[in-house]
Amino acid sequence: MGTSAVKAVEMSMEGGSPVLTGFGHVDVRPGEGPEVALRELLASGSFRSTRASMGVGGQSTVVRYLEMVRMSEAELRQAIPFELQSHLPFEVDEVTYDCQALELGSPMGQEDSAQDQKHDTMTVLLAACRKDLIEERLNWVQQEGLTPVAVNLDLFALANAWELAGPAPLLTHEDEVGDGDSEPSQHKIHTERAVALVDVGAGRTSINVLMAGETCFSREIPLGGMDMTQAIARRLGVEAVEAEALKCESDGPSAEVEAAMSPVIEDLAAELVLSIDYVEHHRGVQVAELLVSGGGLLVPGAVQHLELAVGRPAHLWSPLEGLRINAERVDMEDLERWASSLVVALGLAGKVAA
Ligand SMILES: Nc1ncnc2c1ncn2[C@@H]1O[C@H](COP(=O)(O)OP(=O)(O)OP(=O)(O)O)[C@@H](O)[C@H]1O
Ligand SMILES: [Mg+2]
C-alpha cells in the first residue's frame, strides 16, 4: 500500500516455481484513505487467490540490528522482551514484533578490538509494528473476503523481491582477478561486497543493504517522487497535478523541471551516502552498487543524477526480467509500465507463494 497507489501482485506455484498470474494498481486519490483504493483494486477481478500477504512501513514500524551475546534461538526469544522497550518509541504492548539472529559476523570494531570475542556476539534483527496499524489492515482485507496469511515490512519485501527476481550483482575487476588468491587476507574479509536495494516511492525511499543476500542495514528516508513534484510546482508556480504531468513527460523533463527536481535528488543522495558510509564503516562491507526500484526515479536522467551524487553505480532494475509470467492472465503492456513500482508487492506475494 503505497502513498500514491495501492498495488497487488498475485503469485502462483506452477511446476514447483512461482509464476506471476495477476497484478493491479489503483491510485490513492487525494483526500481518500488507501482502503478506498484497496477495495477498488480487489474488486477489479484481477485476482483468483483469496490469500493475502500485506506490507507495512513508515512511522508505525521499527527495525533494529542489535548486537547481543551469542545464544540459542530459544534463549533469544526469552531475552528479547527485556531488550525490547529500550529500542521502541512505543509501549511494548502496543506492538507486534519478531526477531531473528543474522548470519553476519560481528561489526568491525568488535572484531578488531577483541579477536577472541568474535564468536561471542551475534547480530539480531528486530522488527516491530504498531498493532493498531496491523489490525486496521487485516480488517480491510478481511472485509473484502480475503484471508490474511502474512504481514511483512516493506523493507524486507524489497529484499525478498530481489531474491526472487533480482539481477545478479555486478562483477568488478577486483572480483575477477581476486579469485585465484587463496590467501584469506584481512583486507578481503573486511571488504565483502554488498548491494544496496533502493526503492524510491512517492512519499518515502527504502534502503536495504544486502551482504551475501542477507540484510545488514535497512532504513526508510522520508523523501520521494512527491517531493520532486512539489518542488516543480513551487518553482514553476503550477498546481501539483500539472507539475506531476510535466515530470512524467515521456520525452524527458525540460531543463526547468530538471532544475527543480535537482535539490530533491541531491538531498536523497546525501541521506543514502550517510547510510552507505555507516554500513561500510560498521560492517566492513563495500557497497558496490545501488539497485533502484519504485516509481520515484523513472524520470529520464534521474538515476544517473543519483549515481553521480552518491558516487556509486546505480541502475534501475525491473523484476520482470527474472520472473515467470503467465501472459494470458495479465496485461503485459501495463505490467511493463508498472514493473518498477511492483517490487514490494512482488516480494510480499513471492515469499508466501514459495
Ligand atoms: N513515468 C514516470 N516518470 C516519473 N515519475 C514517475 C513515473 N511513474 C511514476 N512516477 C513517480 O513515482 C512515484 C510513485 O512511485 P511508487 O508507486 O513506487 O510509490 P508508492 O509506492 O505509491 O509510494 P511510497 O512507497 O512512497 O509509499 C510518484 O511520485 C510518481 O510521480
Ligand atoms: Mg512503495
pTM (predicted TM-score): 0.92
Q: What is the pLDDT of residues 36-71, one digit of tens each?
A: 999 999 999 899 999 999 999 999 999 999 999 999
Nearest CA to ligand 1 atom 12: 295
Can you tell me the mean pLDDT for 161-182?
67
- For residue 351, the Cα-to-chain-centroid distance in whole angstroms is 14
Residue nearest to atom 20 of ligand 1 (CA): 2
Of 203, 120, 108, 196, the residue nearest 159 (C-alpha): 196
Q: Which atom of ligand 1 is nearest to the CA of 225?
A: 29
Going along the chain from its start, the domains and CATH numbers come out as: 169-316 (3.30.420.40)
Question: Ligand 1, from 297, 341, 342, 343: best to mutate by most atoms within 8 Å of Cβ?
Answer: 341
What average pLDDT does the segment 4-26 reach? 96
Tell me which of 3, 133, 265 to substitute to probe ligand 1's pocket, judged by most ligand atoms within 8 Å of the beta carbon: 3
**Residue 38 and residue 23: Cα distance in Å, rounded?**
13
Indicate which ligand has the atom closest to the C-alpha of 347. Answer: 2
Q: Does any ligand 1 atom lie closer than 6 A to the CB of residue 104?
A: no
In this model, does residue 318 exceed pLDDT 90? yes
pLDDT tens digit sequence for 99-139? 999 987 656 545 444 444 556 999 999 999 999 999 999 99
Strands 61-69 and 51-56: unpaired
The protein residue whose alpha carbon is closest to atom 25 in ligand 1 is: 201
User: Which residue's C-alpha cell is 547510510?
Assistant: 275
Residue 184 has pLDDT above 50, yes or no: no
263 pLDDT above the threshold of 50:
yes
Distance 82 CA to ligand 2 centre (A): 33
Whether the predicted pLDDT of 277 surpasses 80: yes
Rounded mean pLDDT of 137-142? 96
**C-alpha–C-alpha distance, residues 200 and 326, integer Å:** 27
In the numeric block, which cell numbers belong to residue 191?
A: 571488504
